[in-house]
Structure 1
Amino acid sequence: MAWLILAAAIIVEVVATTALKLSDGFSHKGWALVVVAGYAAAFLLLAQVLKLQMDVGTAYAVWAGAGTAVIAAIGVLFLGESINLAKAAGIALIIGGVVMLNLAGGTH
């Protein structure tokens, strides 16, 4: 159950971060509301994951790493951001680290 809640926290955080870009410095109030609500929900979900006894290091690393990789992909695919070999390698390393944490386990 902890992994499903963590996945939800990652999805909500990705939506909030994407909305942060779209809010244009909080000048678009609708997107700004999505940012605030999304980050609040993401942290509440992450807190629930920790309450379910998942290791804080694993939970936070997976949450941050997966979120970073997905946001980087959204930036390239939908927001017109550039990608080069170094960025692609960095994203691959993040994904590899998340996979290794999952293989190593992360709950008590």
Structure 2
Amino acid sequence: MNKKVEEDLSNELELQIKGAEKPSVWGLLVIHFILLPYATAKLLFWYGCWFSRYKVKRAPYSWEDASYLTQRSLGVLPDSWRYVDESTKEDLVQRRIW
């Protein structure tokens, strides 16, 4: 009876694990190829808004955009930038090092 219970449990585990397969390289490439037009359009829209706001209209940078420029000029990763305290961020943004 003990062997029967072990066999039943192992069959259940096989069924649960069977759906979690590693994706193939070709499957990932197809998905990225399908999403490429969306990602390109989103990037172009963002760049167009940035260009019209700050190059054409010459508006002052918002806090988020100035923070983004400071982060990029310092070469800090977005995850690391999130953990920098606010007073340090404020100081770095006010220096306008971008």
TM-score normalised to structure 1 length: 0.28
State the structure with more CA Rg.
2
TM-score normalised to structure 2 length: 0.30
Higher fraction of helix = 1
